[in-house]
Amino acid sequence: MEQITPDPKVLIDIISTKMPFGKYKGTLISELPVYYLEWFKNKGFPPGKLGMMLSSVYEIKINGLNSILTLVKVAHKTSAK
């Protein structure tokens, strides 16, 4: 099986980008609730980078991998100092 490594730049974007519209406008994409991400999945994620980030967070959360986002947040705070 091929080893898949997450792109650190995408993960940093996910923890630092705010939702630009809708009910959760201004909420960090990494903090969006699963039911909202499920709604997007059913309706269709928006095109482009935003859709890719929303889709990635959806997959992370439904697969119980929230710890990835936590680790990236901690690492990003540490490196920003």
Residue 67 has pLDDT above 70, yes or no: yes
Which band of pLDDT confidence, cut at 50, 70 and 90, is reported for residue 80? low
- Span 42-58, mean pLDDT? 95
Residue 58 has pLDDT above 80, yes or no: yes
The DSSP 8-state label assigned to residue 33 in this structure reads -
Q: Which residue has the higher pLDDT, 4 or 21?
A: 21
Which band of pLDDT confidence, cut at 50, 70 and 90, is reported for residue 31? very high
Mean pLDDT of the chain: 90
Joined together, the tokens standing for residue 34 give: 């699963």
Query: Is residue 40 within 8 Å of 24, Cβ to Cβ?
Result: no
Domain ranges of the chain: 18-80
Joined together, the tokens standing for residue 29 give: 């994409």
